[in-house]
Structure formats: structure tokens, C-alpha cells
Amino acid sequence: MRALVIEDDVDLREQVCAQLRSDGFAVDATGEGEEGLFFACEYPIDIAIIDLGLPGPTGLDIIREVREAGLDYPILILTARSRWQDKVEGLETGADDYVVKPFQPEELTARIQALVRRSRGWAQPKLESGDIVLDTARQEVFVADEPVELTAYEYRVLEHLMLHAGEVVSKTALTEHIYEENAERDSNVIEVFVRRLRAKLDPEGARKPIETLRGRGYRLSRGLSSREADTAGSTGATDS
Amino acid sequence: MNSLRARLLAATAVLLLAFIVLTGVALETAVSERADQAEHDRLQGLSYALLGSAEITDDGGFKLAPRVLPESDLTRPDSGLYALVLDEDGETVWRSPSLLDPIELDTVPAVGEWQFMRVYPEQGTLITLSFGFRWVTDAGKDYRYTLVVAEDASTFVKQMQRFRGVLWALLSASALVLLVVELLILRWGLAPLRRLARNLATLQAHEKRRIEGRYPDEIQPLVSNLNTMLSNDQARLTRYRNALGDLAHSLKTPMAVLRGLAEDERLEENQRRPLRNQLARMNDILDYQLQKAAAAGKRSLTASIAIAPIAEKLGRALTKVYAESGTRFRVHIAPEVKAPIDEGDLTELLGTLMDNAAKYGNGEVDVRAETRDGDLHLQIDDNGQGFGDGSTERLLERGVRADTSREGQGLGLAVAAEIVRSYTGEITLTHCEQGGARVAIVLPAG
């Protein structure tokens, strides 16, 4: 998952970024409204956390531009103004939720994860595919109820594939969603991550949960397990 | 007498009445005097004519042949025109054939003087003119006489009565016409004031804070001043709220950083806990005071706003926020329900209470509003556990929370109560039929 943080206070920005990284996100961050607007419109983002009180283009301006550009990833606003008029304005402009400063770090995490899940059509914090279960709240993965240890990157790859279960995900898309913008990238590494994931999730090679589609990418089977979000369709629950 | 029109009308009516009466009396007096003068002159002419034709005998006898009488009426009995001559002792020495009964005078004029008066015999009224004169005969005898000429006044009185009737009828009619005209003038003259009053009244019923239209020069400065006051008032409130928002921003961002530090695991738990608690306290105080300061409260000439759009907007926004629990916000408010309350205050009040209802309820929030006798009745219901027993009063005090198991600022109800108080309204915490919590609010009209 790739998150964008736009917050002009350096200390708070670093805190939020550190927290998001520890929650398994690839994080891009900026304190400039102008730069934030560019990131928000150009990067393949899964969620944006935007402070409303920015210098330059305000948070509201950025949200408006993003929605006008037809981008529908979830947006969480951070606001110091606790008045409902300000909150409602942000939500009406296109944000999906808000967190009022000062906030409890766990609350921020919970809201962000709920938004990401909902945007992919998952109604509950546990993603399931066959006998693979990924708990986004605790960042734990189980195969047939047995815990599986994954590295941060392996986790990100699996989370992305599970959130897009049944869809073909290209190597480029995977790279973009698990790496931050200024990270060293090597798409060959994706192959390594996928190979390791297969070994951990399916040591006997019996189920083959991750399919390789030559020249197109990977696909995680939807599995047989119930996926509640199917009732909501696969378009995601993000309003804009 | 609490209306300008009634005052002006009453004053005009009194003035008009006085004017009409004075005019009537003056005219009547003038005309009556003029008539008397004419009568006087006529009788005087007659007197001269009689004197010119008179002869006095040496023994003091007075002779006036009927054929030389200047008026034929003097010869016809009881014609209404009479003449007689009295001697020094008041004895009648001569009387015109027309006079049947002698005329008695209380006083007689001195020699060479005229006396004009009315006398009242048994029937009718006589206008008399008497003249005292001395006659010296050729034999050198000196006699003193009084010539009395009289005319029956009944015709004269009738004429005067007719004149008086016509005079007062005309004056009354013109007074009536003037009053009606005055009424019309007042209507026309006071129309701008009525328009202003109407506009002021509709100011509260409409969603605008400006008195429209052009008024007469006497009222326009008042209207302009009112408009300036209204717009300054709104601008000041906006500036004030922005300043408070900036203050919140500049304080809360550092507080958010500190709050993050309070979770830093390199710190001991017994260091982190006080940090968290103190920050929470600071935040509560700051929130409560900022909310309180930003409330506009009851102001004069606040424009009325529709309640439904604001409740619906909040419902849409909160539906997003509570998407995870799938809370449904139902707004049952007719579009015509309006109240003179500041939009920011109403948004704050409803937002706080709907958020509270969603937080402590079980997925259903119902918002109702109606106006009864001009008062706005608001009702926010949820389907949760309700407020519990006996603690409802305490919940409205600042910073007390009944359900401490949920996170939140715990200030919602206290903030709402503060806003309701600033509108001299009432807030009641009860239970709805299904057992959930109900917050009922009455905001008085005007």
C-alpha cells in the first residue's frame, strides 16, 4: 500500500510517516501544498492523508483537484479545526473521513486501514483468500490458521495482491504500490518477493495461490472463502 | 395611541375641529354683525325719512300724515314695520297705523343719540332703533321726543338660522373631506415606514441579512446604518471564527506531535500516561473554550435559515465518517422549517449531537425539527442504550461523559448545551420510545 502524507509541520509529518511505515505502508510525504498536489495527482496512491491548514494550495484545494481529476482513492483529512462547518466542508469536497488533531496514533491507523479496505470493497479488517488470511489491523498472516512470518516487503506485496484478488496486477503496478517514490527500484526484486511468498504460503506447491501470467503480471485467486465485499461490488466504497 | 398614524390622525382631528369651530363662530359673528349693521342703517334711513316728514304742533303734538309715510308697510296694520314717538314722559304721542300694541322700551337714548336693540314683546322679537331728539317750535317751545322705529325680527332670525345651518353643514362636510384626505396623505406619507417595518420582519423570515430598497431621505440613513451594522456584525463574526480557527491550528498541531510522543515506547509508561492525560485535558479545555467563543448566540435581526439542508448535509458527511458501522442518518424535516439561528451555530449543534448519537447509538440516527408557535423544536434520537439513570443533568455540564468506554472528546453535550443556552433555549436528555437516547431542544422565537 502506498500512502501520501501532506502535512506542513515537520515533526508531525515524520511521526505520521513513521507510524504508517510501521503499519506496512510505502509513504511519500511533503509539507508543500504545491508539491502535495503534484504527488496526489501523479503518484499511484492508495490513500492520502492531508492536513487542511496548508500554506499555498490548501488541503481543500488539493482534495478538489484530485476529485476533479477523477481519482477516487480514499482521502483522510487531518484538521486542527474541530468545528463541524470545517469538517463538513472537507467531507463535501471529497474527503472520506477526518481525524481531529491531536489524535491517538492507533485511531489514525484504524481509520486509514478502514478507508483502504473499504476502497477495495472489503468490509472487515481481515482479508481472506482460500485458506490465506491477512489481518490488516494486526499485520498478521495465517495459512490454514497457522501464522506465517513475512518481511515488510513480502507483506506489502501480499496485501496488494489480496486487496486486488482476482485481478491481474502488473509488476510495474506492484512496484509502484510497494515502493516510495525516491526508493531504489528493481522490478526483478518483485519476482524474488513473489517466489518467497509462494514458498511461505504454499510450501508443498499444492494450491498455487499466486498465478503468473506471462508478460502481464500476477493474479491471486479469489479463493473459495466468502468475501463479503462481493455484495458491494468490486468498484470500492469510496465516495467522491 | 401607539401608532404614528393614530397620533397624527388624532392631532389633525383635534386641530381641524378647533379650526372649524373657530371659523364657524367667526363667520357667524361677522355675518350677524353685518346684518345688524344693515338693519341699523335701514332703520336709520327710515328714521330720517320720518323725521323729515314730521310736524310738531305748538302744543307739542306730533303729526305725521299716513300718506307721507316713507314705507307703505307703516300704514298696513301689523305689517311688521312699526314706528312710534314718545314724549319726555314716555307717553306715546304718535304711532304708525301698523302698530297696534305699544312698544315698551326699558331705556331711551339721550338727545342726539341712537339706540339699537332688540326687544321681546309677548310674541316674536323686534329690532328697534331709537333716536332721542329735541324740537324747538317757532313759538320757542322746546320738546324732547324719542323716535322708535321697529321691525319684526322673525324674517331676520329665519334668515340667520338658514345661514347658520348652511354654514355648519358646509364646514362639517369640509372637515370630513379633510380628514379623509389626511388619512390618505398619512397612508402615502408613512408608506416607506411600513415598507421598512415589513422588510425588517421579512429579514428574519428570509436567508439574507440586508434591508433592500431605496427609502426617503429621512429614513435612508437609518436603513444604511442598519445594513452596515448587519454586515459588520457578520464580518466580525467570520473574522473572529477564522482567528479562533488559526489559534486552534497553531496550538493543536504541536499538541498532535506531543500526543504522538506519548506513544513513543522509549519512554516509560509512567512517563507516557501523565503526558497523555495532561494533553487530553488541555485539548478538552481548548475545545470547550474555542467552541464557546465561536458561538454567535442570539443576535437581533438574525436571518432565518432552513433547517433541513443543514441537517441533510451533516447526514451525508457523517454517513461517510460512519461508513464502517453503516450508521444511517435519517432527517425528517419539512423544507419550510426555518429559524433565526446562525448557520455556524446550527451546524455545530446538529453536528455535535448527530455525531454523539452515531457514536453511542447502534446504527440509526433520526433527526426531527418543527416550529410550534414560532419556537424551533429539535429532536435527535439514536437506538443505543440511552443515557442511563440519573446522570442526565451532569452530562450537560462540561467535560462529563456517561459512557467513558468510547473515545471522543466527551464534550459534545456540554458544547451543545452551551449553544442552546446562548439562544436562551432548553435542552433535555430523555429516552425515545424504543429506548435509545433522545436529545430534545427548544429554541424560542424572537
Is the distance from CB of B409 to CB of A101 less than 8 angstroms?
no
Q: What is the pLDDT of residues B260-271, one digit of tens each?
A: 888 888 888 888
For residue A91, give the nearest of B252, B320, B409 by CB distance. Answer: B320
For cell 524474488, name the residue. Answer: A192
B72 occurs within a structural domain: yes
What residue of A is the nearest CA neighbor of B259? A102
Are the Cβ atoms of A87 and B290 closer than 8 angstroms?
no
The residue among B266, B294, B322 that closes a domain is: B294
Answer yes or no: is pLDDT of B59 > 90: no
> Residue B75 to residues B127, B151, B156: CA-CA distances in angstroms?
18, 13, 21
Count chain A–chain B contacts defined by CB atoms under 8 A: 100
Are the Cβ atoms of B320 and A81 closer than 8 angstroms?
no
CB atoms within 10 A of CB A48: 28
Q: Greatest CA span in chain A, whole angstroms?
A: 57
- Quote the radius of gyration of chain A (alpha carbons, Å): 18
For residue B351, give the nearest of A12, A88, A103 by CB distance. Answer: A88
Domain count, chain B: 3
Helix or strand (DSSP H, E) at A217: strand A217-220
| Window 87-146 of A, Cβ < 8 Å to B | 87-88, 91-92, 95-98, 100-107, 114, 118
**Are residue B78 and residue B129 in the same domain, yes or no?**
yes
End-to-end CA distance of chain A: 20
Q: Does A208 touch chain B (CB under 8 A)?
A: no
Looking at the complex, report in whole angstroms how far the Cα of residue A172 sits from the nearest Cα belonging to chain B. Answer: 31
Answer yes or no: is pLDDT of B61 > 90: no
pTM of the model: 0.64
The CATH number of A2-119 is 3.40.50.2300
Mapped onto helix, strand or coil, the DSSP state of residue A122 is: coil
Domain containing residue B151: 4-159
Are the Cβ atoms of A88 and B317 closer than 8 angstroms?
yes
Are the Cβ atoms of B313 and A103 closer than 8 angstroms?
no
**Listed residue (A205, A170, A208) closest to A191, CA to CA:** A170
Query: Which pLDDT belongs to residue B46?
Result: 92
Looking at the complex, report in whole angstroms how far the Cα of residue B393 sits from the nearest Cα belonging to chain A. Answer: 24
Query: Which pLDDT belongs to residue B381?
Result: 93
Are the Cβ atoms of A96 and B323 closer than 8 angstroms?
yes
Per DSSP bridges, beta strands B375-382 and B364-372 are antiparallel
CA-CA distance, A23 to A138, in Å (whole number)?
Answer: 9
CA-CA distance, B146 to B85, in Å (whole number)?
Answer: 6
**Are residue B309 and residue B277 in the same domain, yes or no?**
no
**Listed residue (B334, B336, B346, B332) closest to B302, CA to CA:** B346
CA-CA distance, B417 to B446, in Å (whole number)?
Answer: 19
Report the CATH number that the domain containing residue B135 is assigned in CATH: 3.30.450
Answer yes or no: is pLDDT of B404 > 70: no
**Are residue B286 and residue B339 in the same domain, yes or no?**
no
Query: Which pLDDT belongs to residue A240?
Result: 35
Residue A127 corresponds to which cell in the numbers above?
482479508
Answer yes or no: is pLDDT of A229 > 60: no
Q: Does B398 touch chain A (CB under 8 A)?
A: no
Residues of chain A with CATH 1.10.10.10: 126-231
A15 burial level (CB within 10 Å; 0-12, 13-18, 19+): buried
**Are residue B128 and residue B227 in the same domain, yes or no?**
no
Answer yes or no: is pLDDT of B208 > 90: no
Looking at the complex, report in whole angstroms how far the Cα of residue A61 sits from the nearest Cα belonging to chain B. Answer: 18
CA-CA distance, B134 to B114, in Å (whole number)?
Answer: 13
**Are residue B255 and residue B326 in the same domain, yes or no?**
no
The arithmetic mean of pLDDT across residues B369-395, rounded, is: 83
B361 occurs within a structural domain: yes
| ipTM surpasses cut 0.85 | no
Answer yes or no: is pLDDT of B414 > 60: yes
Helix or strand (DSSP H, E) at A17: helix A10-22
> Residue B295 to residues B239, B252, B353, B369, B418: CA-CA distances in angstroms?
13, 20, 15, 21, 9
The arithmetic mean of pLDDT across residues B207-220, rounded, is: 80
Looking at the complex, report in whole angstroms how far the Cα of residue A239 sits from the nearest Cα belonging to chain B. Answer: 8
**Are residue B122 and residue B229 in the same domain, yes or no?**
no
Helix-helix angle A152-163:A187-201, to 10 degrees: 80
What residue of A is the nearest CA neighbor of B243? A81
Answer yes or no: is pLDDT of A72 > 60: yes
B400: pLDDT confidence band, cut at 50, 70 and 90?
very low
For residue B317, give the nearest of A92, A102, A114 by CB distance. Answer: A92
CA-CA distance, B175 to A144, in Å (whole number)?
Answer: 109
Are the Cβ atoms of A105 and B263 closer than 8 angstroms?
yes
CA-CA distance, A119 to A198, in Å (whole number)?
Answer: 26
For cell 491517538, name the residue. Answer: A104
Answer yes or no: is pLDDT of A231 > 50: no
Q: Which CATH architecture has domain A126-231?
A: Orthogonal Bundle (1.10)
Residues of chain A with CATH 3.40.50.2300: 2-119
B165 occurs within a structural domain: no
Query: Which pLDDT belongs to residue B406?
Result: 41
A236: pLDDT confidence band, cut at 50, 70 and 90?
very low
A232: pLDDT confidence band, cut at 50, 70 and 90?
very low
Q: What is the pLDDT of residues B134-175, one digit of tens each?
A: 888 877 888 888 999 999 888 888 888 999 999 999 999 999
Query: Which pLDDT belongs to residue B65?
Result: 77
B390: pLDDT confidence band, cut at 50, 70 and 90?
low
Are the Cβ atoms of B351 and A96 closer than 8 angstroms?
no
**Are residue B22 and residue B119 in the same domain, yes or no?**
yes
Is the distance from CB of B99 to CB of B136 less than 8 angstroms?
no
Task: List Cβ neighbours of B130 (8 Å cut-off, separation of 6 or more).
Answer: B105, B108, B109, B114, B115, B117, B146, B147, B148, B149
For residue B257, give the nearest of A15, A106, A237 by CB distance. Answer: A15
**Are residue B286 and residue B321 in the same domain, yes or no?**
no
**Are residue B68 and residue B110 in the same domain, yes or no?**
yes
CA-CA distance, A102 to A7, in Å (whole number)?
Answer: 13
Which residues from B are below 8 Å from A137, CB to CB? Answer: none
> Residue A228 to residues A222, A239, B162: CA-CA distances in angstroms?
12, 19, 109
B98 occurs within a structural domain: yes
What residue of B is the nearest CA neighbor of A15? B260
Query: Which pLDDT belongs to residue B204?
Result: 66
Query: Which pLDDT belongs to residue B403?
Result: 43
The residue among B294, B320, B344 that closes a domain is: B294
Q: Does B253 touch chain A (CB under 8 A)?
A: yes
Which of B29-38, B255-264, B314-323 bottoms out in mean pLDDT, i.e. has the lowest? Answer: B255-264
CA-CA distance, B333 to B309, in Å (whole number)?
Answer: 9
Q: Does A9 touch chain B (CB under 8 A)?
A: yes
The arithmetic mean of pLDDT across residues B14-34, rounded, is: 93
Looking at the complex, report in whole angstroms how far the Cα of residue B317 sits from the nearest Cα belonging to chain A. Answer: 6
Which residues from B are below 8 Å from A80, CB to CB? Answer: 245, 248-253, 256
What residue of A is the nearest CA neighbor of B348? A84
**Are residue B268 and residue B326 in the same domain, yes or no?**
no
Which residues from A are below 8 Å from B248, CB to CB? Answer: 80-82
The residue among B278, B294, B310 that closes a domain is: B294
Per residue, the 3-state secondary structure of A22-65, as one string, reads HCCCEEEEECCHHHHHHHHHHCCCCEEEEECCCCCCCHHHHHHH
Query: Which pLDDT belongs to residue B410?
Result: 58
CA-CA distance, A156 to B311, in Å (whole number)?
Answer: 41
Report the CATH number that the domain containing residue B306 is assigned in CATH: 3.30.565.10
Which residues from B are below 8 Å from A100, CB to CB? Answer: 252
Per residue, the 3-state secondary structure of chain B, as one string, reads CCCHHHHHHHHHHHHHHHHHHHHHHHHHHHHHHHHHHHHHHHHHHHHHHHHHHCEECCCCCEECCHHHCCCHHHCCCCCCEEEEEEECCCCEEEECCCCCCCCCCCCCCCECCEEEEEECCCCCCEEEEEEEEEEECCCCCEEEEEEEEEEECHHHHHHHHHHHHHHHHHHHHHHHHHHHHHHHHHHHHHHHHHHHHHHHHHHHHCCCCCCCCCCCCCCHHHHHHHHHHHHHHHHHHHHHHHHHHHHHHHHHHHHHHHHHHCCCCCCCHHHHHHHHHHHHHHHHHHHHHHHHHHCCCCCCCCCCEEHHHHHHHHHHHHHHHCCCCCCEEEEEECCCCEECCCHHHHHHHHHHHHHHHHHHCCCEEEEEEEEECCEEEEEEEECCCCCCCCCHHHHCCCCCCCCCCCCCCCCHHHHHHHHHHHCCCEEEEEECCCCCEEEEEEECCC
Answer yes or no: is pLDDT of B109 > 70: yes
Are the Cβ atoms of A15 and B317 closer than 8 angstroms?
no
Mapped onto helix, strand or coil, the DSSP state of residue A76 is: strand
Looking at the complex, report in whole angstroms how far the Cα of residue B405 sits from the nearest Cα belonging to chain A. Answer: 15
Q: Does A82 touch chain B (CB under 8 A)?
A: yes
Query: Which pLDDT belongs to residue A237?
Result: 38
Are the Cβ atoms of A81 and B291 closer than 8 angstroms?
no
CA-CA distance, B356 to B361, in Å (whole number)?
Answer: 8
**Listed residue (B350, B404, B358) closest to B383, CA to CA:** B358
What residue of B is the nearest CA neighbor of A105? B260
Query: Which pLDDT belongs to residue B238?
Result: 82
Answer left, alpha or beta for residue B133, where phi above 0 means left and psi between -120 and 50 means alpha. Answer: beta
B36 occurs within a structural domain: yes
CA-CA distance, B128 to B102, in Å (whole number)?
Answer: 13
Q: What is the pLDDT of residues A133-144, one digit of tens each?
A: 888 777 888 888
Rounded percentage of chain B residues whose pLDDT exceeds 90: 30
Are the Cβ atoms of A92 and B249 closer than 8 angstroms?
no
> Residue B311 to residues B85, B287, B364, B431: CA-CA distances in angstroms?
111, 22, 15, 21
**Listed residue (B132, B145, B129, B186) closest to B56, CA to CA:** B145
**Are residue B370 and residue B248 in the same domain, yes or no?**
no
Q: Greatest CA span in chain B, whole angstroms?
A: 163
**Are residue B37 and residue B122 in the same domain, yes or no?**
yes
CA-CA distance, A227 to A117, in Å (whole number)?
Answer: 12
Answer yes or no: is pLDDT of A76 > 60: yes
Q: What is the pLDDT of residues A158-168, one digit of tens each?
A: 888 888 888 88
CA-CA distance, A152 to A155, in Å (whole number)?
Answer: 5
